[in-house]
Amino acid sequence: MNLLIINGNPRKSGRTTKVAKYISKNHDLNLLDLSELILPIFNGEEEVRTRKEVQTVLNAIEEADAIILSTPEYHGSMSGALKNALDFIDKSYIINKPVALISVCGGGKGGVNALNSLRFVARALYANVLSKQLVINPDDITEQGELLESARIDVDQLVNELRLYTSLSKQLFLEESIEV
């Protein structure tokens, strides 16, 4: 099963970057790190979609069986870097794909607004967004990027639910294609 986590934080040393790397390493997920991948601004022009960086994003999303979108909350929403990356895809890349959401909050607003905006965008792309979502507080992350016990348990549960949902979803779509 090919699970992908997208780090939506453009900061290399940001908490979301640390959390995404931790989850990738400890749960054997592929990582698409927007702090290392500088994308052009989406403008709708076909020539921009052919750039290597954009193709990296498109290929990673297309090949994934399921995706975790992780973002800090910037001004009550997801990061601009993550929104820009998602603007490059159309529904064919993500339709019916299971998607889990994580926000790493910082400023006391709790990260819920970022999760809500992520949910709107993922649903507009026809992804199957899990009901369960996570907000990870700064106090749950060590300076080295390790998660404290309670956050580890929450992440474990979310990743396990995503794996289960992905497995069931693949089985369901396989059965539907056999019946047709």
pLDDT tens sequence across 90-118: 999 999 999 999 999 875 557 889 999 99
Per-residue pLDDT of 29-40, as tens digits, reads: 999 999 999 999
Map out the domains of the chain as residue ranges. Answer: 3-179
Name the average pLDDT for the chain: 92
Per-residue pLDDT of 65-85, as tens digits, reads: 999 999 999 888 999 999 999
In the numeric block, which tokens belong to residue 174?
A: 């396989």
Q: Is 40 exposed, middle or buried (0-12, 13-18, 19+ CB in 10 A)?
A: middle
Read off the amino acid at residue 19: V
CATH number belonging to the domain at 3-179, selected among 3.40.50.360, 3.40.190.290, 3.50.50.60, 3.60.20.10: 3.40.50.360
The C-alpha atoms of residue 48 and residue 155 are separated, in whole angstroms, by 35
Per-residue pLDDT of 126-165, as tens digits, reads: 999 999 999 999 899 988 889 999 999 999 999 999 999 9
What is the pTM (predicted TM-score) of this model? 0.93
3-state DSSP assignment of residue 159: helix
